[in-house]
Amino acid sequence: MKDYDKYIVWLEYFNSELKRSQGRRVPLSLAIRTPKPEELQEACKRLNLQPALQAGTYPSSGRRESAYVSIRKEKPKQALMLKIAKEISTVRARAPKK
């Protein structure tokens, strides 16, 4: 059953390798290369958005596997995506290098 109190935020929204027409929703200056589901979930946790990570197939990508988080509605979706994009960059910068 659809939950109207939550937003769905896909990994593709933050992928710098995609064009806007392919699903990216943040500016290239905030997008990152191949975001990971764990980074998206951690960024949402840091913003206290109560994320629930799920695997799925992004609607316009065909059969490519992806993931998304469902987060509680707090502000307009675009404003939240910009905050999440900045936080994902912080999460990636703090990750231990291999």
What DSSP line would sit under 39-98, residue for residue? HHHHHHHHTT---EEEEEE-GGGTT-EEEEEEEE--S-HHHHHHHHHHHHHHHHHHSPP-
**Multiple choice CATH, 6-94, 3.30.56.30, 3.20.130.10, 3.30.470.30, 1.10.275.10:** 3.30.56.30
CA distance 45 to 35: 16
Q: What is the pLDDT of residues 8-65, one digit of tens each?
A: 999 999 999 999 998 899 999 999 999 999 999 999 999 999 999 999 888 876 667 8
Tell me how crowded residue 87 is: count the other CB atoms within 10 A of its CB: 19
Residue 4 has a pLDDT of 83
Residue 1 has pLDDT above 60, yes or no: no
- Per the DSSP assignment, residues forming a β-bridge with 73 are none
Domain boundaries, the chain: 6-94
**pLDDT number for residue 39:** 94
